[in-house]
Amino acid sequence: MSSTLDNLVRMANQIATNLKHDADPAAAMAEHIQLFWDPRMKQIIFAHDGTGLSPDAAKAIDALKASA
Amino acid sequence: MTYQPQTDFGTPASRSEDQVTLTIDGRETTVPAGTSVMRAASEQGTAIPKLCATDSLASFGSCRLCLVEIEGRRGTPASCTTPVEPGMVVHTQTPHLAKLRKGVMELYISDHPLDCLTCAANGDCELQDQAGNVGLRDVRYAADATHLGQTKDHSNPYFDFDPSKCIACSRCVRACDEVQGTLALTVQGRGFDSKISAGLSSDNFLGSECVSCGACVQACPTATLVEKSVVEIGTPERAVVTTCAYCGVGCTFRAEMRGEQLVRMVPWKDGKANRGHSCVKGRFAWGYAQHQDRILKPMIRAAASDPWREVEWEEAFAYAASELKRISAKYGKQALGGITSSRCTNEETFLVQKLIRAGFGNNNVDTCARVCHSPTGYGLKTTFGTSAGTQDFDSVEDSDVILVIGANPTDGHPVFASRMKRRLRAGAKLIVIDPRRTDLVRSPHIEAQHHLALRPGTNVAVLTAMAHTIVTEGLVDEAFVRERCDWTEFKDWADFVSLERNSPETLEPVTQVPAADLRAAARLYATGGNGAIYYGLGVTEHSQGSSTVMAIANLAMATGNIGHRGVGVNPLRGQNNVQGACDMGSFPHELPGYRHISDAATRREFEAEWGVALDPEPGLRIPNMLDAATDGVFKALYVQGEDILQSDPNTQHVAAGLAAMECVIVHDLFLNETANYAHIFLPGSTFLEKNGTFTNAERRIQMVRKVMSPLNGLEDWEVTQELARALGLDWNYTHPSEIMDEVARLTPSFSGVSFDKLDEEGSLQWPVNEAAPNGSPIMHIDGFVRGKGKFVVTDYVPTDEKTGPRFPLLLTTGRILSHYNVGAQTRRTNNVVWHEEDLLEIHPTDAENRGIKSGDWVKLASRAGETTLRATVTERVAPGVVYTTFHHPMTQANVVTTDYSDWATNCPEYKVTAVQISSSNGPTNWQEGYDQHARNARRIETAEAAE
């Protein structure tokens, strides 16, 4: 994995962990990424095969990718 | 022109709402109850002679010069210690009083050098004035025993102490006590032997505990304590009120001038942030403005390895524009971006983000708040609805319990710290949550009731354990929560914090805070009256920085400590205009006023004003820009007033990112470390050389006024405008006030702000709008900006940065009093006498285990890199924790810090880095290599001689 992708995977997992108590964690994480990540960061994480992503993070990113 | 100091009313103003009417010298006057006769007289224009009285200090009554006669009273009471009473009839000038005063003055002058013509205070000396006022014409006493001819103390780099000129009025001692709160000065001896001493008699000022705030110098009525700059230059002839460019307190000063030469900076007594006080930086450390290192001509070069070539402004703008256009055409507009400065004005910051959004065509704009208080923006907006603190600084005067977490205000925000300490000396209780034993934990007449010396990185665990205590012990202000907050969210939060896994006892092994101490602190905060939380970068610069801010907000809401004086959530902002830079739309996801770029209605307003279509997608944050640069897709950066190479984490990654760019434009006062990778250098102007506004930590917008012409020829906003014009943007601002007018048109919370209004009011705290035309000192009074306050569950998540056998210690970084941020300004002043280099603080046990003594060179190594610096062995840090500052470029503490960052904002985790310390005998390879690179990168091509 490239350094940028490593960072994005780590960030996604961090976000998922910190939003796990939200009423709808996947939706909250998807909204967070939509609001704060630039298009290129989203493209990189969307193109990633999911390696290293926590299940919660992967679920949120899949949901966001589907709505994009 | 004759020097005109600010009016000195002799004693402080009374805050009583009751009014008292009396007669002074036949004129009826009405003043608040509790006002002294001296002040009442002064307010009606009658200046009673005085020496020991000044309106920044409580009345003292020692000089016996301010005597008055009051009908119906015996004797001649001192007007400074006599409060007004209804119907009182006062006479300030009678033959009897004149005789008494002349006698008093005669005694003073008999023991004072008569060198007025050559004295530095000539024309600005209260003793000289009073001698004239009382009509003293000769001195009858023989000069047998005097204090004349004593040795002067020149040790302080900024002021001299001449005991021969001292009249023992104690104003300096009282200023150190009452205003600054350091209590460094004292009166030694009694009677004729009385003399002012800085600490022990063996101490000089430099070697004493004096922090050089200047309060004593300001209070001195003679030339006993006088600025060296006045000695050297002479008495000022005019003064301009402006705002300090150091730290988020936002002190206002009178810049006292002769022509275009700054003589001294004197704190403005009417300043609502500093109330007439100052610190060593704002008061004295302005010499960088005229330092020989300043670059005054634009410079360009094709590659960072080339020497710089000085050019005219036109060529620099044309070259910059051509490079930006070339890169945009070749790599796409997303390859460009910029960084606004928290040291520049609101107007300049607004223009830089406008240039990027409207000129570059993207939202790749960020600011240094990314690496300091971006979690504050996120956390407080989420919980309260506004990305800012809730109080004004005056609020602390009504606090009963002050909780300081992750902040070291006596070093980072010293002027506010003095006000906080004054309140603590008056009886407020103190809780400090910090891994280090900061000065605030125990200082003269102040001792924290609780110092929770937590393990770095466990803020959320500590605050959640406090919440557990408050909820499970029934200390919640339920009425407040039910009325003001979302009750369902509160219940979810309360259920979570009540879990046994969040109890102080369960978390003690994690936090290393004794459970009983933590419970006691929580009880005190919840039940001790008005509870105010002040926090700093020890809260935000963590992987859970945003969570910690929200955990703080949760505590304040749960205990009802929001919405009135004395309480609140108060981020102590780092740089002078970091609040303003955030307000002005410096984040890549927000337009000015914290409105998301994806909001079409907001975007339309800006598009209509600016005449361009805006990108609806958020842009890159600073660390993402650097990642994109090393990936080869981000190629051009305009950096105004920021030195990311020294201040941002993981220096080697920052260097790699900058080196990968094809056009780095640095707009700064000096060839800073980032400029070592730059292709275009645009010289900047200091705060003394431009007009505009700064916004401080209490949301207070204050005027910055030009006191001298820019040495480079242009104010910073003009530089940005010319760059925009070179790119084809039709900008035609003629004054920064026009930029603020545009901000007001586009930003609801600034809709009532204008330069005229600021001139009229002195300052304004946003929001300033139709509902609050004179601003909003305290927020969320009747309801939160977002409606109902939002409780957020903040579950403690340990950082990914782990200690282990290779890196067993935790490094945390911070600041000291005498230096500011990367030190670019303060290192170019005499402040270096207090801090010549960054030092590594290490606990005696850790030092002994490694054979390290104070003064030894040590290697500081982490997973990111290694550097060397000297050690100081101290119990200020706990075992297992080491600490250093990042003020000096050759230390490069950020070579060691990592890429780990806050989950919500990417604010770097400066406060937790796993490290190892070992003895060292020289600089690291990185330091040696960087030093060579920096020397090479700073070469400036010598101009060819004209034929």
pLDDT digits (tens, 9 = 90+) for B852-906: 999 999 999 999 999 999 999 999 999 999 999 989 888 888 899 998 999 999 9
The reported pLDDT for the residue numbered B891 is: 85
State the Cα–Cα distance between residues B609 and B612, nearest whole angstrom. 8
Q: CA of B767, closest CA in chain A: separation in Å? A: 24
Question: For B494-533, what is each residue's pLDDT tens digit?
Answer: 999 999 999 999 999 999 999 999 999 999 999 999 999 9
The reported pLDDT for the residue numbered A1 is: 40
State the Cα–Cα distance between residues B564 and B781, nearest whole angstrom. 6
Minimal CA–CA distance to B382: which of B514, B550, B243?
B550
**CB contact (8 A) between residue B795 and residue A20:** yes
State the Cα–Cα distance between residues B604 and B626, nearest whole angstrom. 30
The reported pLDDT for the residue numbered B758 is: 97
Calculate the alpha carbon distances from B848 to B455, B707, B869, B873 in Å: 21, 53, 17, 9
State the Cα–Cα distance between residues B604 and B611, nearest whole angstrom. 10
Q: CA of A43, closest CA in chain B: separation in Å? A: 13
- How big is chain B by its Cα radius of gyration, in Å? 29
Nearest CB neighbour to B618, from listed A3, A14, A37: A37
**CB contact (8 A) between residue B627 and residue A7:** yes
The torsion region of residue B485 among left (phi > 0), alpha (psi -120 to 50) and beta comes to beta
Calculate the alpha carbon distances from B570 to A52, B248, B402, B778 in Å: 38, 12, 11, 11
pLDDT < 50: residue spans in chain B: none
The bridge status of strand B252-258 relative to strand B238-243 is: antiparallel
**CB contact (8 A) between residue B903 and residue A4:** no
Nearest CB neighbour to B627, from listed A4, A15, A34: A4
Chain A residue nearest residue B598, CA to CA: A35
Chain A residue nearest residue B899, CA to CA: A7
Chain A residue nearest residue B620, CA to CA: A38
Nearest CB neighbour to B797, from listed A11, A18, A34: A18
pTM of the model: 0.95
- Reading the block at residue B710, the tokens are 């820019």
Is residue A18 within 8 Å of residue B544, measured between CB atoms?
yes
Question: B334 to chain A: which residues are within 8 Å by CB?
Answer: 39-40
For CA atoms B331, B332, B334, B339, give the dihedral sign.
positive
- Reading the block at residue B382, the tokens are 């989420």
Query: A47 — contact with chain B (CB < 8 Å)?
Result: no
Q: Best of A2, A17, A36 to disrupt the B interface by mutation (most B CBs within 10 Å)?
A: A36
**CB contact (8 A) between residue A38 and residue B620:** yes
Query: A26 — contact with chain B (CB < 8 Å)?
Result: no
Minimal CA–CA distance to B801: which of B792, B811, B789, B815?
B811
CA dihedral B376, B377, B380, B386 (to 10 degrees): 140
Minimal CA–CA distance to B666: which of B196, B316, B926?
B316
What 3-state class would DSSP assign to B830? helix
The reported pLDDT for the residue numbered B153 is: 95
**CB contact (8 A) between residue A4 and residue B906:** no
State the Cα–Cα distance between residues B669 and B37, nearest whole angstrom. 50
Q: Break chain B down into helix, strand, coil percent, rounded to 5.
A: 35, 20, 50
CB environment B766-799: b (16+ within 10 A), e (fewer): bbbbeebeebbbbbbeeebbbebbbbbbbbbbeb
Minimal CA–CA distance to B370: which of B602, B129, B621?
B621
Q: CA of B667, closest CA in chain A: separation in Å? A: 26
Q: CA of B498, closest CA in chain A: separation in Å? A: 15
Partners of B918 in the β-ladder: B859
**CB contact (8 A) between residue B334 and residue A40:** yes
Is residue B836 within 8 Å of residue B906, measured between CB atoms?
no
pLDDT confidence tier of residue A2, bands split at 50, 70 and 90: low
Across the A/B interface, how many CB contacts are shorter than 8 Å? 61
Query: A68 — contact with chain B (CB < 8 Å)?
Result: no
The reported pLDDT for the residue numbered B1 is: 62
The reported pLDDT for the residue numbered B944 is: 61
- Reading the block at residue B212, the tokens are 């050089």
Query: For B237, how many CA atoms within 13 A lie in the half-sphere containing its CB?
Result: 7
Residue B931 exposed, middle or buried by CB count within 10 Å (0-12, 13-18, 19+): middle
Query: A11 — contact with chain B (CB < 8 Å)?
Result: yes
Chain A residue nearest residue B588, CA to CA: A36
Question: A38 to chain B: which residues are within 8 Å by CB?
Answer: 363-364, 588, 617-621, 624
Q: CA of A64, closest CA in chain B: separation in Å? A: 15
The reported pLDDT for the residue numbered B945 is: 53
User: Tokens 């910073």, residue?
Assistant: B716
- Reading the block at residue B606, the tokens are 């800006």
- How big is chain A by its Cα radius of gyration, in Å? 11
The bridge status of strand B636-640 relative to strand B595-596 is: unpaired
Question: A47 to chain B: which residues are within 8 Å by CB?
Answer: none
State the Cα–Cα distance between residues B490 and B789, nearest whole angstrom. 9
Q: Best of A14, A15, A24, A67 to disrupt the B interface by mutation (most B CBs within 10 Å)?
A: A14
Partners of B700 in the β-ladder: B765
Nearest CB neighbour to A35, from listed B363, B589, B906: B589
What 3-state class would DSSP assign to B72? coil
Query: A43 — contact with chain B (CB < 8 Å)?
Result: no
Chain A residue nearest residue B365, CA to CA: A38
* Phi, psi (degrees; rounded to nearest 5) at B166: -75, 135
Query: A18 — contact with chain B (CB < 8 Å)?
Result: yes
The reported pLDDT for the residue numbered B422 is: 96
Q: Best of B497, B903, B906 to disrupt the A interface by mutation (most A CBs within 10 Å)?
A: B903
Q: CA of B268, closest CA in chain A: separation in Å? A: 41
Give me the mean pLDDT over the A11-35 stretch: 95
Q: CA of A56, closest CA in chain B: separation in Å? A: 15
